[in-house]
Structure formats: structure tokens, C-alpha cells
């Protein structure tokens, strides 16, 4: 299955393309979770999986153990702090 991933904040620097705002198309095994996706990106892009703390799937907040489906749009975020 294929999902489309956008990386945000500290994760964005691991995007391989010239347009870091563009989604990445990633092939995953059926039944893969958001955490599986993060681990795959760690292997292929060097984006540390432990930095992924929250995710949105199809514009809805999702747990890291949420199962992904073909065509899902995924946003991955590191820890967010600020003031």
C-alpha cells in the first residue's frame, strides 16, 4: 500500500526533495501502523523514529499505533514546545 507523508518541524530536514513541503509517497506493508511508518522513515531517510510524537491521518489526530490504509495522508510531528 502507499501513503503520502508530510514531515513537520525538526523532521522536515530529513525530506530528500527540493520541496520539503511536498508529501513523500511511501510504500508500506498492509496493516502497517504510524509507528511502522516512522521506523521505515528512520531506515530510509535517517529521520529518528523516536522524534515522532504525534500524527495526523487524513487531517484527524491519530495514535502512533493507528493502522494505515492505502492512500492515507499522514502528517508526522516531533515534540512541540513553546511559549
Cβ atoms of 12 and 41 within 8 Å: the answer is no
- Domain assignment present for residue 35? The answer is yes
Closest CA to 72 of 21, 3, 1: 3
Q: Specify the number of domains making up the chain.
A: 1
pTM comes to 0.92
**What nine digits make up the cell of 69?**
490504509
Q: How far apart are CA 54 and CA 49, in angstroms?
A: 11
- Domain assignment present for residue 19? The answer is yes
Q: How far apart are CA 72 and CA 52, in angstroms?
A: 17
Checking if the pLDDT of 82 tops 80, the result is: no
- Domain assignment present for residue 83? The answer is no
Question: What pLDDT digit, counting tens, does each position of 13-59 carry?
Answer: 999 988 988 999 999 999 999 999 999 999 999 989 999 999 999 99
- Domain assignment present for residue 82? The answer is no
- Domain assignment present for residue 30? The answer is yes
For 26, the domain range is 2-77
Q: Domain holding 26: CATH number?
A: 3.10.20.30
Checking if the pLDDT of 83 tops 80, the result is: no
Amino acid at each position: 500500500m502507499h501513503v503520502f507523508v508530510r514531515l513537520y518541524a525538526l523532521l522536515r530536514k530529513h525530506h530528500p526533495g527540493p520541496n520539503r513541503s511536498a508529501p513523500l509517497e511511501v510504500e508500506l506493508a498492509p496493516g502497517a501502523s504510524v509507528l511502522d511508518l516512522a521506523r521505515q522513515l528512520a531506515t530510509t531517510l535517517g529521520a529518528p523514529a523516536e522524534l515522532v510524537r504525534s500524527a495526523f491521518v487524513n487531517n484527524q489526530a491519530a495514535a502512533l499505533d493507528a493502522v494505515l490504509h492505502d492512500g492515507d495522508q499522514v502528517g508526522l510531528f516531533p515534540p512541540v514546545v513553546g511559549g
